[in-house]
């Protein structure tokens, strides 16, 4: 398979979303909506993100990894862990 000439597949914005931008710590022009629901959520405390537990429920509203520059690469590096965890079910 030929390597892509660009990396546009790593970034998408949905400015029509009623929640855009859902995390205020990322500049709007850099806000990436690709991982609107973070695939690393299921890794619990091993996701590497900035989260808190509210009554045992993981609250990721302070995490900007999926929405920031470099977030795509970070998440893809961790996907093997996600696949392994999913296969354990």
CB 49 within 8 A of CB 38: yes
pLDDT of 24 strictly over 90: no
Burial letters 64-87, b for 16+ CB under 10 A, else e = bbbbbeebbebbeebeeebeeeee
pLDDT of 1 strictly over 90: no
Separation between Cα atoms, residue 24 and residue 22, nearest integer Å: 6
Q: What is the pLDDT of residues 49-70, one digit of tens each?
A: 999 999 989 999 899 999 999 9
In a domain, 5, yes or no: no
Q: Give the total number of structural domains in the chain.
A: 1
Host domain of residue 47: 12-87
pLDDT of 4 strictly over 80: no
Measured CA to CA in angstroms, residue 37 lies from 3, 4, 5, 32, 63 at distances of 27, 25, 27, 12, 12
In a domain, 6, yes or no: no
In a domain, 36, yes or no: yes
Element (H, E) at 76: helix 71-87
Task: Select from 59, 7, 11, 8 the least CA-distant residue to 35.
Answer: 11
């Amino acid at each position: 398979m030929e390597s892509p000439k660009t990396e546009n597949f790593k970034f998408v914005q949905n400015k029509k979303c009623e929640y855009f931008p859902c995390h205020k710590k990322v500049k709007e022009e850099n806000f990436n909506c690709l991982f609107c629901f973070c695939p690393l959520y299921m890794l619990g405390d091993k996701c590497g993100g900035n989260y808190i537990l509210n009554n045992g429920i993981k609250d990721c509203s302070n995490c900007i990894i999926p929405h920031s520059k470099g977030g795509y690469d970070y998440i893809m590096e961790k996907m093997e862990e996600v696949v392994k965890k999913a296969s354990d079910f």
